Amino acid sequence: MKKIFSLLLLLMAVFSGAVAADGFYTSGTKLMDSNGNEFIMRGCNFSWAWQRGNEYTVIPAAKRIGCNAIRIQLSTGRKWQKCSASDLERLIKLCEDNKLVAVFNTHDETGSNDYSDLENAANFWIEMKDILNAHRKTVLVNISNEWYGQWDSYGWAEGYKKVIPKLRNAGILNTLVVDCAGWGQYPKSIFDRGREVAAADSKGNLVFSMHFYQDAAGSDSQVRSNIDKALNVGCPVLIGEFAYEHQGHPVAWQTILDYTKEKNVGYLVWSWTGNGGGVEACDMFGGYDDSVWKPNGTNTVKGRNGIQQTSRECSIFDPNGGNQGGGDPTPNPPGQDESTVLWEGSVDFGAWKGMLEYKPGSAQWKSQQMGALKKGDKLVFSFTGAASDEKAPGQIQLATFGLDSQWTWTVLVDADNIYNNEYTYTISGEETDGYTDLAMISAHGFAVKGQNATLVKVERVVAGNGGNTGGDDTPGGENETTVDTPQFNVSTWEAMYHLEKSRLGSLTSADKVRLYVSCNDGAEIQIAYKTASSDWTQHVDYAPISGSTYDLAMTDAGLLEGANYDGLYFKGHDYTIQKVSVIRPGQSGVDETVVHESHRAGIDFDEPYEIYGIDGRQVREMVAGRLYILRQGETVVKHIAR
């Protein structure tokens, strides 16, 4: 009877969705913590095996920059001083004190094809079994760093099919992490034989790891393909190492950050500091603390979808047990936005043929999210393959539906260009066709079509506190429009970023260009432009740059001419341009009286003038009944088209 009652309790827990676990476990392609919340690693690597004594500096600094996990290199004693039981306990406690999940690996077997080396690593873990099991809520075991250097699936699989049962039979309960073959850069070993290796784990608690350098992640398509194929095996996937550059070869690091976010795949950057032998560019920092940032750290920590934007602390460190679905989110810093995916899929626009209708009753409609929309929120549309050709660019049309019984089609954005595979629409709350965009979109959704791009995702972005949402109606407000997110590292004077005229649009003397930057100590900026009569004119020369933003006013006539002729050029050293926006005067520069008749607008319609939507985006033509901002020289007015 006691056994039957226990079985009933177990079944009740299963069918109610409750999960009681003593440590990390896997569920399909998800890594789950002991509270039953998905955990997505965002962290770094620390080479403790040959950097002993610096753990009290590195580990707290890793938490400080936003990491939720850290991968630590240990030694079995074959190449470096052996990690003792007391060493391991001390490292675990230091990680737990800083609320970091620890992924430990042994580094002595790197590149070896000899099974005896892999078995030696297993013997080390078995020796540490009691410590590991006692901390299986916070510790994962990466069996061996890059064992099996050969680019071959068979030998790799046969080795792990023997060593995994050895570890489980010895009583190790932790989640196991297995690096793929080819020094960690042969993901095909996972595609070919991963299911066999996973089947060797009697606990069904295994994660596959790929190391993304030039051989496995040299291009955007390679990154996406390797992640997709590895996930198809059915186990969680981790990018256990990667850097923005390796051995002088570029790595598609931005795609790694973007696609891992899209696919909920963890990543750990290689590595904190102290790299040599041709891989010095892998240093995230210039020392053991976080005071001197290197490009690899700046890009992967502060960049788009980097650690600081996507890291969430593991819910195991939350005394309340976290929350369903994602652990305990680290509170957003002031001004940082929160995003929620509304729709994911693939709609090829082609030539204005493909269309997504996102409305009540559609498969992915999220009524709670849509009903909670408010003025200033953004809809962010993500694309692949958006053409940048001026003659046939990727373009978007966004429409919604009126609130009458006929579901009147209302165009909000008409044939606007897509830049960097992304387009953002800000909810303005302005009235169109008798209804506000907020009322129409929140109740009836939207339709989106266009040309020369494939829509893959739509997100709702809730503006964080302290940031301008681009929809400020207060007198003196500004309309800020993102024109590029280059993540361009101006590391030395040889590097140069060209902000093209096509991105800037037509500027006036009242506008300014804002750079969002991250700067190392002593950073300097140089700004230049070209005109029809001048090949190169310095506007700012060797000026110090610091902080997170740099504003460039267009008040200088030569600078304005150059920006409208060929764009702007940025050089210097020790800073990274993360985002560029154009800021145009808001309603402080607009006649507060809505103008209904053209002759009262102060605009000479026989002369060139510029047309802007209420969200600050420039458009080609007006649609009757809609409100616009018109500019002609220094004249700026509001106007309802007739």
Question: If DSSP codes are grouped into helix, strand and coil, which group holds residue 298?
Answer: helix
Q: Going from the N-terminus, what domains does the chain have, and what CATH number goes with each?
A: 2-317 (3.20.20.80), 338-471 (2.60.120), 481-585 (2.60.120), 589-640 (no CATH)
Torsional sign, CA 265, 266, 272, 277 = negative
The dihedral of CA 551, 553, 556, 559: what is its sign? positive
> What is the CB neighbour count within 10 angstroms for residue 572?
25
The tokens for 359 are: 């409305």
How far is Cα 405 from Cα 113, in angstroms, rounded to an integer? 70
- CB neighbour class for 262 (10 Å; exposed up to 12, middle 13-18, buried from 19): middle
Query: What does the pLDDT read at residue 469?
Result: 33
Which neighbouring-strand residues pair with 515?
A: 550, 580
* Cβ-based neighbour number of residue 189 at 10 Å: 27
Secondary-structure breakdown of the chain: helix, strand, coil percentages, each rounded to the nearest 5: 25, 35, 40
Angle at 250 between CA 576 and CA 267, to 5 degrees: 80
Reading the block at residue 575, the tokens are 């800073």
Query: What gap in Å lies between CA 505 and CA 618, rounded to an integer?
Result: 8
Which of the residues are catalytic? Answer: 146, 241
DSSP 273: S
The whole-angstrom separation of Cα 237 and Cα 179 is 10
Distance CA 76, CA 289 (A): 27
DSSP 588: G
**Alpha-carbon distance 628 to 622, whole Å?**
8
On whether the CB atoms of residues 76 and 106 are closer than 8 A, the answer is yes
**pLDDT (0 to 100) of residue 478:** 56
Q: Whole-angstrom Cα distance, residue 395 to residue 85?
A: 60
The list of the chain residues with pLDDT below 70 reads: 1-20, 320-338, 390, 402-408, 432-434, 463-479, 586-602, 613-621, 623-628, 634, 638, 640-642
CA–CA distance, 41 with 51 (Å, rounded to integer): 23
* The pLDDT value given to residue 353: 87
The CB-side HSE value for 158 (13 A sphere, CA atoms) comes to: 8
DSSP element (H, E) containing 445: none
- For the chain, give the number of residues: 642
What is the C-alpha separation between 68 and 207, in angstroms, rounded? 17
Q: CA-based Rg of the chain, rounded to a whole angstrom?
A: 27
